[in-house]
């Protein structure tokens, strides 16, 4: 792309760093911003900058939170002994939207993926194991997407906690294999949490 303006080119280059945004889309977005009042661009820039600078993670579940302890972990109405293992905040939002779950979460921050150079130590698995060692958890619900990486991660954690006396379950899959949690409809996802099955059963099926 040949730009008549270095300023425009820089903006397009930065914008096209985002996932799913090619140079053409970036150019369209940048031109759109140019047509809007300057205040709108300023609001966007400020929101992104503040989010980046001030973002905080819950010290207990590692979900993104504006407070040291997120609302879910701080709530008296949630059962801290039941912990649902998820990949990121999108899964928490999807499960919360079902209104069917009253336990806590543990946000791993990703999935084990040797191809992408992501190992167990890049995730918050140690902190989860620690909570289990401290006897804080009675039931662990695996709710990672049923991709190869999700299965590998579930199995890794399952092996790590084998010696502990806790119940391990997985959400019943009304959702087809490979579907990400965030795309499952609320009713199906809600039902699959309520009707969760022993984790070991899911191993036999695969």
Which residues of the chain form contacts with Zn ion (CB under 5 A)?
A: 58, 60-61, 70, 73
CB of 104 to Zn ion, least distance (A): 7
30/137 with CB nearer Zn ion? 137
CB of 12 to Zn ion, least distance (A): 38
CA dihedral 128→131→137→139, nearest 10 degrees, is 10
30/58 with CB nearer Zn ion? 58
30/61 with CB nearer Zn ion? 61
80/129 with CB nearer Zn ion? 80
CB of 172 to Zn ion, least distance (A): 25
CB of 156 to Zn ion, least distance (A): 22
CB of 23 to Zn ion, least distance (A): 39
73/86 with CB nearer Zn ion? 73
Q: Per the structure block, which two tokens stand in for 128?
A: 């989860």
Cα Rg of the chain, angstroms: 21
């Amino acid at each position: 792309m040949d730009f008549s303006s270095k300023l425009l080119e820089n903006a397009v280059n930065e914008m096209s760093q985002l996932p799913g945004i090619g140079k053409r889309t970036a150019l369209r977005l940048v031109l759109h911003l140019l047509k809007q009042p300057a205040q709108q661009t300023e609001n966007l820039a400020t929101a992104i900058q503040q989010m980046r600078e001030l973002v905080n993670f819950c010290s207990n579940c590692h979900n993104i939170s504006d407070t040291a302890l997120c609302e879910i972990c701080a709530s008296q109405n949630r059962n801290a002994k039941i912990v649902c293992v998820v990949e990121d905040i999108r899964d928490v939002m999807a499960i919360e939207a079902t209104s069917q779950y009253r336990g806590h979460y543990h946000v791993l921050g990703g999935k084990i993926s040797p191809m992408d150079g992501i190992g167990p130590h890049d995730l918050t698995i140690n902190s989860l194991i620690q909570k289990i060692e401290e006897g804080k958890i009675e039931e662990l619900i695996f709710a990672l997407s049923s991709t190869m990486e999700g299965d590998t991660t579930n199995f890794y954690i399952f092996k790590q906690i084998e010696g502990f006396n806790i119940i391990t379950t997985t959400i019943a899959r009304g959702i087809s294999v490979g579907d990400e949690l965030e795309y499952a409809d609320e009713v199906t996802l809600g039902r699959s949490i309520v009707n969760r099955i022993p984790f070991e059963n899911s191993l036999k099926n695969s």
